[in-house]
Amino acid sequence: MGRKGDLRRWKSRRISSKRLRKSLKRLRAGRHTMKPVILSQFGESGLDTVYLPQVVSLADRNLHYQLTKTMQELRMAFVADNEEVRLDFSRTEILHAEGMLLFYAELTRLIDAFPTKKLSCKPSKKAKVEEVLQHLGVYRLLGHNSLVVPTSSDAVNWKVARAVIVDGEKAGKLIEETAQLSGTAHSKLYRSVSEAITNVSNHSHLAKREDGLDLEPTKEWWMFSREEKNSLYVAVCDLGIGIPRSLPRRHPTEVWLDAIYRMFGDRRTTDGRMIKAALRLRRTRTEEDYRGVGFSDITNVLHQVEGSLLTVYSNRGKLRYWNPTLIPAIRVRSFKNSILGTILVWSFPFRDDQNA
């Protein structure tokens, strides 16, 4: 082949490398094809198998999609005619606090709603995942008698609380067990968490959850804390209607004002923006003028530890809020699928010399 052939080959290579660069760019931006690797299998010999993803997390677009899709499959498996649901953890290698909390909340809610469903599981191949699932009682819930004894700090540092009322004692005792926070920071964190669960009690049950299960809305909440040498994560979750649905019901005027505020910019009302609107809301102008002061409590604890961060996931939206003392930084985004609820995660980083 002569010079023309070489040029054609070079051009095609250039195109393919261009495509490669484009694909890499999409991958880095989290816009890669959003498909879980293994789809759950339904209807085989009286058994529905739901595969948990490799990384149980809501951290980026792909992981968010995979976990919300898996939760959808889990709900479908519980309402399907087959008598047994099997959860397959064999691929699961990493558990993030917010992802694990969503899974734990969804699973316990489904078990309560469908108590006759037979459950089983295929355990994880990763020792650390095994320990966490054993420590949190997930294996016990699924009827799996594991002999694993959780000993690693990665597992035993996870703590969980769950209640259907604003049970300050349950939340407070979990907070008091965190050694890295001072009395003042304990108090501020308790204030944040108790307001979060009060919001659950007042707002989350206003309408039915849009999960197709037709269950009565509840005021139930779940809480995780995970303390490491250099970090502390505290997360609160509810499976209610979510901030984007509750805000227009509670604060219709403010939602309209927020739309006018954005009139000259991008006017789309996404779930991420609705969470941001809730954060901005300091007081309500409805007839109950004294309500709606809670969200500032939720962010106040961030002043206690330098570099701390609040992440709010609600329905399809996500908001990250940090640096409240200097110039508050807020980032919002929206995802394809809804978590059908709200998760608040407070993250506190600690240097070796820094206790709050």
Q: Which residues bind other proteins (CB under 8 A)?
A: 165-169, 171-173, 175-176, 186-191, 194-195, 197-198, 201-202, 290-291, 293-294, 296-297
As beta bridge partners, residue 234 has: 225, 346
Nearer to other proteins, 169 or 214 (CB): 169
CA distance 272 to 320: 10
- Tokens representing 355 are 């206790």
Nearer to other proteins, 95 or 175 (CB): 175
Q: Radius of gyration over alpha carbons of the chain, in Å? A: 23
- Pairing status of strand 47-51 against strand 41-44: antiparallel
Which residues are within 8 A (CB) of 241 and not within 5 positions of it... i.e. 6 or more apart? 203, 204, 205, 206, 207, 208, 209, 210, 217
Minimum distance of other proteins from residue 233's CB (angstroms)? 19
Minimum distance of other proteins from residue 347's CB (angstroms)? 19
Helix (H, G, I), strand (E, B) or coil at 343: strand
Q: What angle do CA 317, 90, 72 make, to 5 degrees?
A: 35
Minimum distance of other proteins from residue 69's CB (angstroms)? 34
Minimum distance of other proteins from residue 273's CB (angstroms)? 24
Minimum distance of other proteins from residue 121's CB (angstroms)? 34
Minimum distance of other proteins from residue 301's CB (angstroms)? 10
Minimum distance of other proteins from residue 242's CB (angstroms)? 19
Q: What are the backbone dihedrals phi and psi of residue 53, each rounded to the nearest 5 degrees, phi first? A: -70, 170
As beta bridge partners, residue 334 has: 317
Nearer to other proteins, 168 or 248 (CB): 168
Residue where the block lists tokens 């966490």: 132
Which residues are within 8 A (CB) of 290 and not within 5 positions of it... i.e. 6 or more apart? none
Nearer to other proteins, 54 or 296 (CB): 296
Minimum distance of other proteins from residue 53's CB (angstroms)? 35
Residue where the block lists tokens 């295929």: 122
Nearer to other proteins, 2 or 183 (CB): 183
Which long-range CB contacts under 8 A does 165-174 form with residues at least 24 apart?
A: 165/201, 165/219, 166/194, 166/197, 166/198, 166/200, 166/201, 167/197, 168/194, 170/223, 171/197, 171/223, 171/236, 174/223, 174/225, 174/234
Render 150-170 in DSSP notation, one character per residue.
--SHHHHTEEEEEESS--HHH
- Tokens representing 151 are 């000993």
Nearer to other proteins, 264 or 290 (CB): 290
Nearer to other proteins, 90 or 296 (CB): 296
Nearer to other proteins, 171 or 312 (CB): 171
Minimum distance of other proteins from residue 199's CB (angstroms)? 8
Nearer to other proteins, 11 or 291 (CB): 291
Give the residue from 50, 65, 127, 132 showing the smallest Cα distance to 95: 132
